[in-house]
């Protein structure tokens, strides 16, 4: 059993990573899913280097596993290297699941291989490590991490709003009264808050009006409603974004709730946060 868990399985996993690395060098891949392509976007360096790192780690596991069959001194090094790789891959997979719409299938294959090696190497040690592995996923799920996906996916109206913001309610009531269709982006979503802050906007409601590839951004209930009541006076739409924030946004002196603090329900309103569903 030790030969299978410490030599055969690591050798197969090394071949799996090595084959994917060879394919990637020739602009091919075992994984053609969207999640595999998105996973590469999360790295600060070319994804091929992560393959090299994986081959080095599994190679070390194979090396220590082989010599542990003949010398007990290598056994500790084997388990240290193995569970370090499991912890590393747990963080990578956990982050991918939270950020990407779908995980990388190749990465899941590597992670599954490491878990299988750990389980077959020593069951009781794997059970001891299992709570720590699960804790990694729980810890990552507690973080407000923006998702790696587009929020504005086509022409139409997209409204960033809170359920408790009175200015947001005013805009939503106006849209409902005039039968204006829009997509609601809840400010409680970390991705939505990240988008607003990246644009330098610190109050809601925020309206994105996308038409023929051109996006107009308005925030505050007054300019949002005014753009539908007086279409001739609405801000001109340009393909190029202006250099200064004051030129980019239509911002009233009042007419919006603060985007912070997010702990008060999103929008700085003194009410408990509630989940808002996308329409």
Residues 225, 113 share a domain: no
pLDDT at 260: 60
Residues 19, 112 share a domain: yes
Domain at 229, CATH number = 3.40.30.10
Residues 211, 137 share a domain: no
Residues 249, 187 share a domain: yes
Residue 151 lies in a domain: no
Residue 147 lies in a domain: no
Contact present, 91 and 140 (Cβ < 8 Å): yes
- Reported as a single tens digit per residue, the pLDDT across 117-155 is 999 999 999 999 999 999 999 988 887 777 766 777 888
* Mean of per-residue pLDDT scores for the chain: 79
Number of structural domains (the chain) is: 2
| Domain end call among 117, 141, 165 | 141
- Reported as a single tens digit per residue, the pLDDT across 209-246 is 888 878 888 888 888 888 888 555 444 443 333 333 43
> What residue numbers bound the domain in which 76 lies?
2-141
- The token pair that represents 259 in the structure block: 């985007």
Residues 11, 89 share a domain: yes
Q: How far apart are CA 166 and CA 203, in angstroms?
A: 12
Mean pLDDT of 244-260: 48
Q: How far apart are CA 262 and CA 203, in angstroms?
A: 11
Q: How far apart are CA 230 and CA 20, in angstroms?
A: 58
pLDDT at 90: 94
Residues 126, 243 share a domain: no
- The pairing of strands 156-161 and 183-186 is parallel
Give the contacts of 32 (CB within 8 A, at least 6 positions apart).
none
Residue 148 lies in a domain: no
Residues 132, 161 share a domain: no
pLDDT at 6: 92
What pTM was computed for the model? Answer: 0.65
3-state helix, strand, coil in the chain (%, to 5): 55, 10, 35
Residues 193, 80 share a domain: no
Residues 21, 132 share a domain: yes
């Amino acid at each position: 059993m030790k030969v299978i868990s410490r030599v055969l399985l690591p050798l197969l996993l090394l071949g799996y990573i090595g084959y994917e690395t060879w394919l990637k060098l020739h602009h091919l891949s075992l994984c053609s899913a969207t999640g595999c392509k998105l996973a590469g976007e999360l790295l600060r360096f070319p994804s091929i280097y992560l393959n090299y790192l994986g081959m080095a780690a599994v190679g070390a596991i194979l090396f220590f596993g082989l010599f542990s069959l003949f010398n007990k001194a290598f056994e500790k090094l084997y388990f240290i290297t193995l569970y370090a790789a499991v912890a590393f891959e747990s963080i990578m997979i956990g982050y991918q699941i939270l950020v990407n719409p779908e995980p990388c299938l190749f990465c899941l294959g590597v992670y599954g291989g490491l878990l299988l090696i750990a389980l077959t190497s020593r069951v009781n040690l794997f059970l001891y490590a299992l709570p720590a592995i699960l804790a990694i996923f729980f810890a990552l799920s507690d973080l407000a991490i923006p998702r790696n996906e587009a929020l504005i996916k086509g022409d139409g109206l997209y409204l960033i709003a809170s359920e408790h913001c009175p200015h947001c309610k005013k805009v939503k009531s106006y849209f409902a009264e005039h039968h204006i269709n829009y997509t609601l982006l809840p400010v409680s979503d970390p991705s939505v808050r990240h988008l607003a802050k990246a644009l330098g906007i610190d109050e809601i409601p925020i309206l994105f009006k996308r038409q023929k590839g051109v996006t107009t951004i308005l925030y505050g209930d007054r300019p949002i409603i005014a753009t539908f009541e007086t279409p001739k006076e609405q801000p001109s739409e340009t393909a190029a974004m202006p250099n200064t924030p004051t030129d980019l946004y239509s911002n009233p002196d009042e007419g919006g709730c603060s985007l912070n603090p997010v702990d008060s329900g999103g929008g700085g309103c003194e009410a408990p946060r509630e989940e808002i569903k996308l329409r």
